[in-house]
Amino acid sequence: MTGIAEATRIGGSVDAHKGTGEDMPDGRQDSGAMSAMLEVRDLVVSFQGAKKSWNNAVEGVDFSVRQGEILGIVGESSCGKSVTSFSIMRLHNERSTKYQGSITFDGSDIFSLSPKQLRELRGGDIGFIFQNPMSSLNPLMTIGQQLRETVHAHQTSLGKEEVEASCIEALEDAGSDDPKAWMERYPYQLSGGMLQRVVIGIALINHPKLLIADEPTTALDVTIQMQLLKVLRGLRDKRGMSIILITHDMGVVAQMCDRVEVMYLGQIVESAPVDELFAHPRHPYTQGLLAATPPLDGDRPERLSTIPGSVPQLSEVAGSGCRFASRCPFVADECRKSVIDMQSIAERHGARCIRLAEIGEFRKVAS
């Protein structure tokens, strides 16, 4: 308890008020559709389980990404980050997946695209980087062959020299110091950090408007991670590309993102601009995540503050009420009674918790 209170000591005034019903459900009244590159509205993704039952993995996810914006999606494993990011390009196997809600990318409705249009989008206007670089590379083809193939799939009219030039440019943009040499090599001849740069290069080659990066640096050394984060930031600055960055590392979020969506058990539980989120985290889960991260400066604590228990299965907490109730230090009877909606806190800041005011009061007393 004290740990959570401590993490939020810097939190500001107790200004929580319940949503009035007129606010946008997510508390982001000003994210106008005009500037949004991507809009995800009320996304529900369910997978077919045993005995033909359908289980929701993601429920009511709502966010948008503007042009040139880096949006972070953060949360512990199995909270639905990857399911959400795969849905944007409809990468789940559609025989066993049901989507509800809407996803609009650059004006087009993703759920009404034909398979051909989807193929054009993937690797074209939307680039994708996965956690494991080898999952998107062919071990039997040289890096050059794979880059060229991606160009040809989307830009059929280019001449040989133009293709070569854009391959080299993409690798350079991804931080390669010797693109020509890299293109002649096979994946096994490159290190993990180099492979991840190749994957970034392939994702960039057709100048996407949106790059989705799902834990792109989680498997890498901190030193290489830092280089790649600089590459990604630089690309946003240089090309005005939008980026969705999925991570479970609060440090990566703080350094990279403009806005953050915190996910817990298939829902977004807090949404805020990055400065606001770190200065005034309001949802008990966000507060817990920040407090559990060992500090890099100041006193060394004797103990770390923790969130009790671990992420339950969605089926264990099904039914109405707050998904976080089983681990929340502030839980009260009312939390389990009805569906908890996003409550608006400030401009573009919302949290899915009905006790924000009481938690604020508690912090006042505790500090």
List interacting residues with Mg ion (CB under 5 A).
82
By CB under 6 A, is residue 99 in contact with ligand ADP? no
What is the number of residues in the chain? 367
Please list the residues that pair with 323 across neighbouring strands: none
Amino acid, single-letter form, for residue 42: D
Applying CB under 6 A, does 259 fall inside the site for ligand SF4? Answer: no
Is 124 an interacting residue with respect to ligand ADP (CB under 6 A)?
no
77 sits near another protein (criterion: CB under 8 A): yes
Report the distance separating Cα 269 and Cα 285, nearest Å.
8
- Closer to ligand SF4 by Cβ: residue 235 or 353: 353
Beta strands in the chain (DSSP E): 36-48, 54-66, 70-74, 97-105, 108-109, 126-129, 210-214, 242-247, 259-264, 267-273, 343-346, 349-351
Q: Which does 142 bind (CB under 5 to 8 A by kind): ligand ADP, another protein, Mg ion, none?
A: none
Q: Hey, what amino acid is at 38? A: L
Footprint on residues 162-201 left by another protein (CB under 8 A): 192
Q: Which position among 86, 128, 324, 362 is part of the footprint of ligand SF4 (CB under 6 A)?
A: 324
State CA 364 to chain mean position distance: 32
- Kindly state the DSSP code that residue 316 receives in the 8-state scheme: G
* Residue 239 contacts which entry, ligand ADP, ligand SF4, another protein, none (Cβ below 5-8 A, type-dependent): none
Contact call for residue 323 and ligand ADP (CB under 6 A)? no
- Nearest distance from residue 97's CB to ligand ADP, in Å? 7
* 230 sits near another protein (criterion: CB under 8 A): yes
Task: Please answer whether residues 146 and 137 qualify as being in contact, where contact means their C-beta atoms are separated by less than 8 angstroms.
Answer: yes
C-beta separation of 257 from 70 below 8 A: yes
- 110, 103 Cβ separation under 8 angstroms: yes
In the bound complex, what is the minimum distance in angstroms from residue 352's beta carbon to ligand SF4?
A: 7
Q: What is the DSSP letter of 346?
A: E
Q: Does 135 bind another protein (CB under 8 A)?
A: no
Nearer to ligand ADP, 121 or 311 (CB): 311
Position 317 contacts another protein (CB under 8 A): no
Give helix then strand counts, H and E, for the chain.
12, 12
Largest CA distance in the chain: 69
- Residue 175 Cβ, how far from ligand SF4 at the closest point, in Å? 40
Q: Is 363 in the site for ligand SF4 (CB under 6 A)?
A: no
Q: Which residues bind ligand ADP (CB under 6 A)?
A: 47, 57, 75, 77-83
Q: Which residues bind another protein (CB under 8 A)?
A: 76-77, 192, 220-223, 225-226, 229-230, 233-234, 248-256, 274-275, 278, 288-290, 292-296, 300-307, 310-311
